[in-house]
Chain A
């Protein structure tokens, strides 16, 4: 029987961060490891459209049209044929207070996890974030060293600018991504205004992205081919798969791809786990001194609940449901479209009002224009023509606020093993009128009627189901990741984050996983 010092479940951001910290001959990563069935055969979207090969763009089975009836059926980034493998994990449903189905989703069994489709914004939490959101039993400073190590490993592009106090310190940054004309216009207006007004209402700056603008650590720079909606994260955008492959090449870990965790049982001196070979359904038993669960919030929590025989027990669940707002900059209408670009162009935060928020300003490059037609309240043929004029002067703001557990937002596992999430409590973005005012000062115009609110779980910022506590109760975790009554089983993914500041949590999941993994090394047993 195979016996390891450490077994890590999952090869997403949490799992791979743990593998990096615990690398060695006695560490094993167990991973379902779905991979794409095919590749997107173009290096950039313009080339794809010029090819005229409809099936390569829309899919052999019209996969890109899966939102024809219901625009919320599938996240736009998850439709493409070459991305479908990312969402083949455990099923979940999200309902509202009237038990109306909002989302029918699936977790990820993909090698690399949800990072295959992330926007690559890797941001630190700082003390202001954690004190504002509350409920964290650790300090941001306990993550600093791990943030430093991860950023050095990954390579972060960006620039020290007005958003630096919000984003926190960082290591050496690679050059920022190229700005599109409308983003450069907005930034220029911001700096011009800031020179005579000391306290901006809306603070903006360049994003920090796990995206290589030059070769780094043996990896090539990103080609900015605008293929983000058609292919998983490519060379140049950090994907935990890159780290996993490097560890495997250097023979630094064992890897059991194509294996799925079924159950686990803790004994005095080890944990025994049962895994299933995905292709053959053969069952295997492995033993380990320490088990680290990093399957993603929904899937890890499901495993823990099923293992305890607690179907029906509901646990807190949080997400970062965003508000989306298209913003138009008339001065940039008709701008020549860039040859190369990346969607996330700027980030910002409103300084006024209560509570922190964060907004990412996206340029709609990399999307088919037909995707945008239904959102324009005009006949579609005219909307298509109007897009030619508008799109060069358009950004879409995606806005997050702090997210805390609340009574109406819960997750449980049904008797058939599927996951149900009730998401009853959702606050509308409270600072929209203020944001609209501040945007007008920067030459950007929008209306509150244009704001939309995608359903909860849309962005996969899931957390808080097994929150870290100083003194954990059942279905909570110790600050070293251990389940409440366990010595040897730890949770290393978003499940343990007790609340979410108004920032992406990806880098913090990785840093926290590294911190917990370090505790495993130091635990002495």
Chain B
């Protein structure tokens, strides 16, 4: 049985890390609803569950850790939950963090360079946290 308060906290943490804003009420409701219905979000190995629990408890860099957990044909539980976060935001017309829009050529090149640095920072941080806490 999925613990609703744990899931609510999870939704809040993932949303804040993804979009740097608090999660709207509707987002949390949909996050919980998806967990009620989708086995993909609840069926997981002990390692996967432990990884997600530690990330939430210690507010680790979920988005920096997740790429290091990608391997094989089956996605890690953390990947699935973060993807759910992305899908829910994308379908929310009023969500400020997710728009299908572009920035023009010059600005795009600037963004790409800037994001390169940010990606490196998160990936290094995530790698260190993954190793330190023994996350699999």
- List residues of chain A with CB under 8 Å of any chain B CB: 46, 49-54, 57-58, 61-62, 64-65, 68-72, 330-337, 368-370, 373-374, 377-382, 384-386, 388-392
Residue with the greatest number of chain B CB neighbours at <10 A, chosen from A51, A57, A382, A386:
A382
Is the pair A334, B38 in contact by a Cβ cutoff of 8 Å? no
Q: A374, B64: Cβ atoms under 8 Å?
A: no
Complex CA–CA separation, A299 to B86 (angstroms): 38
**Residues in A neighbouring B122, C-beta threshold 8 A:** 379, 382
- Could you mark each residue 97-114 of chain B with 1 if its beta carbon is under 8 Å from any beta carbon of chain A, else 0? 011111111111101100
| B102 close to A392 (CB less than 8 A) | yes
| B108 lies within 8 A of A388 (CB) | yes
Binary per-residue interface labels of chain B (63-94) against chain A in the complex, 1 for a CB within 8 Å, 0 otherwise: 11011001001110001101110111011111
Count of B interface residues, CB-CB < 8 Å: 51
- B38–A52 touching, CB < 8 Å: no
A58 to B17, CA, bound (A): 23
Whether A380 lies near B82 (C-beta < 8 A) is: yes
Query: Is B49's CB within 8 Å of the partner chain A?
Result: no
Given contacts A49-B91, A68-B84, A379-B66, 11 further A-B contacts (CB under 8 A): A49-B100, A71-B73, A333-B108, A334-B102, A335-B102, A337-B102, A369-B90, A370-B83, A374-B79, A382-B118, A388-B99
User: In terms of DSSP, what is the predominant structure of the interface of chain A?
Assistant: helix
Q: Is the CB of A62 within 8 A of B38?
A: yes
The residue in chain B whose Cβ has the minimal distance to the Cβ of A72 is: B73
A196 to chain B, nearest CB (A): 27
A71–B75 CB distance below 8 A: yes
CA distance A332 to B102 in the complex (A): 11
**Which single member of B80, B87, B91, B112 contacts A386 (CB below 8 Å)?**
B112
A to B CB contacts below 8 Å, 19 in the list: A51-B93, A54-B91, A57-B91, A62-B38, A65-B40, A71-B73, A330-B109, A334-B102, A334-B107, A336-B104, A368-B87, A369-B86, A373-B83, A374-B70, A378-B67, A379-B66, A388-B111, A389-B102, A389-B109
Residue among A51, A69, A334 making CB contact with B105, cutoff 8 Å: A334
- Which residue of the partner chain, among B40, B93, B112, contacts A69 with CB atoms under 8 Å? B40
Contact with A along B1-30 (1 / 0, CB 8 A): 000000000000000011100000000001
Whether, in the assembled complex, B34 has its beta carbon less than 8 Å from a beta carbon of chain A, the answer is yes
Let me know if B67 and A379 touch, CB within 8 A. yes
Partner of A379, one of B73, B99, B102, B119: B119
Instruction: Across the interface, name the chain A residue whose C-beta is closest to B43.
Output: A69
Could you tell me if B34 and A370 are in contact, using CB atoms closer than 8 angstroms? Answer: no
Residues of chain B with a CB closer than 8 A to A69's CB: 40, 43, 74-75, 80
In angstroms, Cα B94 to Cα A336, docked, is: 21
Residues of A within 8 A of B107 (CB): 334
The answer on a CB contact under 8 Å between A68 and B105 is no
Is residue B50 within 8 Å, beta carbon to beta carbon, of the partner chain? no
Report the minimal beta-carbon distance from B7 to chain A, rounded to whole angstroms: 15
> What CA separation (Å) do A50 and B90 show in the bound complex?
10
Q: Residues of A contacting B103 with CB < 8 Å?
A: 334, 388-389
A337-B100, A382-B115 known; A377-B67 Cβ under 8 A = yes
Q: Does B41 sit within 8 A of A, measured CB to CB?
A: yes
> By the criterion CB–CB under 8 Å, are A379 and B34 in contact?
no
Q: How close is A7's CB to chain B, nearest CB, in angstroms?
A: 42
Closest A residue to B17 by beta carbon equals A381
